[in-house]
Structure 1
Amino acid sequence: MTLSAAGRVGLAGAAVVGVAFGMARYAYGLTLPAVRQDLGLSEVVLGLVASATFAGYLAGLLLAGPLAARRGPRACTSVGGGCGALGAVVVAAAPSPGWLAAGAVLAGSAGGWAWAPYSDIVTRTVPVPRRSRALALVTTGTSGGLVLLGALAVLALSGSWRLVWAGVAVAAVGAAVVNLLLVPPLAPPARSPRRTAGPGATTGLVGRLRVPLAYSLVYFAVVVVYFTYAADLLAGGDVPAAVPALYAAVGLSGVVALATGTFARRLGSARVAALSLVTVGLALTLLALAGTSLTATVVSAGTFGVGYMTGSAVLAVWTAEVVPARAGAAFTVCLVVGALTSVAAPALAGALIPTLGLGPLLLGTAGVSLLGGAALLVPRRSRAAPGPPVG
């Protein structure tokens, strides 16, 4: 059976993003308790390393644009696969905190290299009626990556946390091969005077993306806190399978994000984004109150998976709707803002935990997410009342 263009690109994107974003970027949070014990790191150092991984992600985002302009978007996804594989190998063999940080930063950059270029790949290879579905499929690949990460965590229960990172390296190589086989080597986008980069062009893009940018600011901050510290909260319990169950539940429930394109068409992308923030806020509240209960943890993770994956997919759909001619650039701008908050959030959390405790920190983060969802809905209603929507 021959796959359609949407099927080929969607499958390749799901594999690459699933490994780069769902595994390489979040494996650090999953292995954090064991890393602390093995290498004897403090909360402050652990928080700084977590922030550094998102700094790597930010670097990948910023460097992907120039590379795509010279070599085409597939080159960025290939570099992302290579960074994920090499970084995971370095972490798996890390003898010291310095090597751990270097490998984690390189692995963390994989998502930055790979994710946004797929918006351009989809818009250039997939017919308009199927684009939102293909974009949702690419983003929802993260769910598969998280399920696989949970399986690796089960394997590591009887061995070392380093097995998780070795598994990430193997998966990254496999995804890179799928990417080369299924995605055509697209030429760099043609340059034109109207699309020349400059302050005016950037300002105009940001102006059109005001609401998605505000959403990105809150969404990425609350998501990174959940992923960085959820495993840490559960590690002290009496149920060793709690951490793998957490990641598997997030991945499995996140499959609902495959319908994000349909949700966006019926409700509007802004409303879907707002509901995602509310769902993540509820999941953070449940996690903070769950203690070491496996049942409560699975409920929290399942709730979080719906909000996290739908919230991620809707950002790709939303930016492509707002700026269809520059979908990759629009998505990158929002991801850069999200990366900046992702860099700051773990470091800030690591500094606050010794004073507040992890539970109160999670509750405070939940409050931010809930307020963000409410704030996102209010201005949309007030702007819609005076006249017809701007299209």
Structure 2
Amino acid sequence: MLSPSTTPRQGIWLPIFAGLCASLVSIGLARFAYTPLIPSLIQAHWFSASDVVYLGAANLVGYLIGALIGHPLARRTSNKTALRLMMLAATLAFFACAFPLSVSWFFGWRLLSGIAGGAIMVLVAATVLPHVPASRKGLASGAIFLGIGLGIAGSGTIVPPLLSLGLQQTWLGLGVLALILTAVSWFGWPSAARHTTTTLTDATPTSINPKVYLLFAQYALMAAGLVPAMVFLVDYVARGLGAGQHVGGLIWVMYGLGAILGPVSYGFLADRLGAQMSIRLVLVVQAIALGLLSICSAFAALALLAVILGSFPPGIVPLGLARVHELIPEHHLQQIAWSRATVSFATFQAIAGFAYSALFNASGGHHGLMFVIAAGAIVVALLLELAVRLPARSDEKVCAVATIT
């Protein structure tokens, strides 16, 4: 494998493009294109409303499974082979979902698409970023996960024209798009570094920064904080505020615009301010935005908040990855830590998905309550770091006094 210093500059962008295609197919489209399809799935009587919600959660559960099996799958084959197989699996799921044979059939394929997304999430950065110079890693990871944002935006622009052809044709069209992206990225993957069996628990105590575990907790809380806007924003605007489906769709497009801007801008922040400071800044902004969302009803305000909130789900990925790289200098341990962080995120995202759905039904469709709870989760993620830092500062002061005396 070529090191970043010996990799030709023009050769860096082909692996990054392959990573972008992978995140676009397996998460951007496989997860987020489902949201604008929900009304059509119900209106076409493919499934009942309760089944549609249940099927949407299948992707989140699959994402958790994929995050767990990503590295074992790559060890049995290679990163390159595993990534190609997962893109093919997500593509096949689109075609299979064009035929609503049964709820269990649809659930299985939605589950598989989630597995593909989780596996790709833990593998794609470890495959591509070793070929990128250190000074560009934040921006490069943002470009890789830009695919998620493109998928969110595409779900608001590509899906409606496809739906005019029919629901089955929409799934087939998405499948064709995924197949094209899989084909054009097929030979873009670099050869990955040889796998190592080292785990975090195998490492010596001095080799692992304890702040890594704080990051795991923060990343999990971020997952809990992003779910309500990601799932219920359109319904909140259309039905909760009575603005109608058209206005809800416009707000979703703004959310998609934020999702496009998020990965690259957050990656740029990580390169310039450092990942830790960037995470703090982003958490403060997101908590404020979620709090305002629960009380705002003006279109201009909602559109601005949608852009800010839309930047969060794909944007925190390069931020979290950059923080792992800050805390752990060893490349092989970075891979394991990022896999653990993704599992933490996926677990809380799946739990939050079911919990918010249950809360939504129990509260009679109270959107504002969910946004406030989400803001609380983001605040806890910020306070958690401050709570951990305070004892450390106290110890430092004690040591300093002892030294002086």
Q: Say yes or no: does 1:218 pair with 2:225.
A: no
Q: 1:89 — aligned with what?
A: 95
Pick one of 227, 230, 233 that aligns with 2:233.
230
Query: Structure 1 pair 20/287, CA: closer, same or farther in 2 (3 Å)?
Result: farther
Q: Percent identity?
A: 22
Q: 2:356 — aligned with what?
A: 349
Q: 2:307 — aligned with what?
A: 302
Checking the alignment, whether the CA contact within 8 Å between 2:121 and 2:342 is kept in structure 1 is no
Unaligned runs of 5+ in 1: none
Question: 1:154 offset after TM fit, Å?
Answer: 2.6
Q: Say yes or no: does 1:338 pair with 2:345.
A: yes
Write the distance in 2 (CA, Å) between the matches of 1:36 and 1:285. Answer: 31
Render the CA deviation track for 1:344-366: whole Å, top value 9, x for unaligned: 11211221212212313323333
**Number of matched residues?**
381
Pick one of 243, 263, 274 that aligns with 2:269.
263
Write the distance in 1 (CA, Å) between the matches of 2:204 and 2:34. Answer: 33
Report matched runs for 1:346-385 at 5 Å: 346-356=353-363, 357-376=365-384, 378-379=386-387, 382=390, 383=392
Write the distance in 2 (CA, Å) between the matches of 1:373 and 1:162. Answer: 42
Query: Structure 1 pair 202/345, CA: closer, same or farther in 2 (3 Å)?
Result: farther
How much is the aligned-residue C-alpha RMSD, in angstroms?
3.0
Pick one of 269, 279, 287 that aligns with 1:273.
279
Q: Say yes or no: does 1:35 pair with 2:38.
A: no
Question: What amino acid does structure 2 have at the position aligned with 1:277?
Answer: L
Name the stretch that deviates more: 333-342 or 12-21. 12-21
Write the distance in 1 (CA, Å) between the matches of 2:146 and 2:10. Answer: 18
Question: 1:218 offset after TM fit, Å?
Answer: 0.9
Question: 1:8 offset after TM fit, Å?
Answer: 1.6
Q: Say yes or no: does 1:78 pair with 2:81.
A: no
Question: 1:314 offset after TM fit, Å?
Answer: 0.2
Render the CA deviation track for 1:312-356: whole Å, top value 9, x for unaligned: 220121112222423222111011011111111121122121221
Write the distance in 2 (CA, Å) between the matches of 1:343 and 1:25. Answer: 13
Unaligned runs of 5+ in 2: 1-7, 398-405
Write the distance in 2 (CA, Å) between the matches of 1:160 and 1:8. Answer: 35
Q: Say yes or no: does 1:99 pair with 2:113.
A: no
Question: 1:138 offset after TM fit, Å?
Answer: 0.8
Q: 2:327 — aligned with what?
A: 322
Write the distance in 1 (CA, Å) between the matches of 2:384 and 2:274. Answer: 12
| Structure whose CA Rg is larger | 2
Checking the alignment, whether the CA contact within 8 Å between 1:17 and 1:138 is kept in structure 2 is yes
Question: 1:163 offset after TM fit, Å?
Answer: 4.7
Render the CA deviation track for 1:217-265: whole Å, top value 9, x for unaligned: 1111222232222233345455443344334322322325313344224
Pick one of 58, 64, 71 that aligns with 2:70.
64
Question: 1:210 offset after TM fit, Å?
Answer: 1.3
Query: TM-score of the superposition, structure 2-length normalised?
Result: 0.82
Write the distance in 1 (CA, Å) between the matches of 2:324 and 2:170. Answer: 34
Checking the alignment, whether the CA contact within 8 Å between 2:286 and 2:375 is kept in structure 1 is no
Query: Structure 1 pair 165/157, CA: closer, same or farther in 2 (3 Å)?
Result: closer
Query: TM-score of the superposition, structure 1-length normalised?
Result: 0.85
User: SS at 1:177's partner residue?
Assistant: helix
User: SS at 2:311's partner residue?
Assistant: helix
Query: Structure 1 pair 242/87, CA: closer, same or farther in 2 (3 Å)?
Result: farther
Question: 1:287 offset after TM fit, Å?
Answer: 4.2
Q: 2:150 — aligned with what?
A: 144
Checking the alignment, whether the CA contact within 8 Å between 2:138 and 2:319 is kept in structure 1 is no
Render the CA deviation track for 1:128-155: whole Å, top value 9, x for unaligned: 2322221121122222222222112331
Checking the alignment, whether the CA contact within 8 Å between 1:250 and 1:304 is kept in structure 2 is yes
Q: 1:183 — aligned with what?
A: 189
Question: What amino acid does structure 1 have at the position aligned with 2:340?
Answer: V
Render the CA deviation track for 1:58-114: whole Å, top value 9, x for unaligned: 111122101222322112221221121111222232243223222221122221121
Q: Say yes or no: does 1:24 pair with 2:4.
A: no
Query: Structure 1 pair 54/77, CA: closer, same or farther in 2 (3 Å)?
Result: same
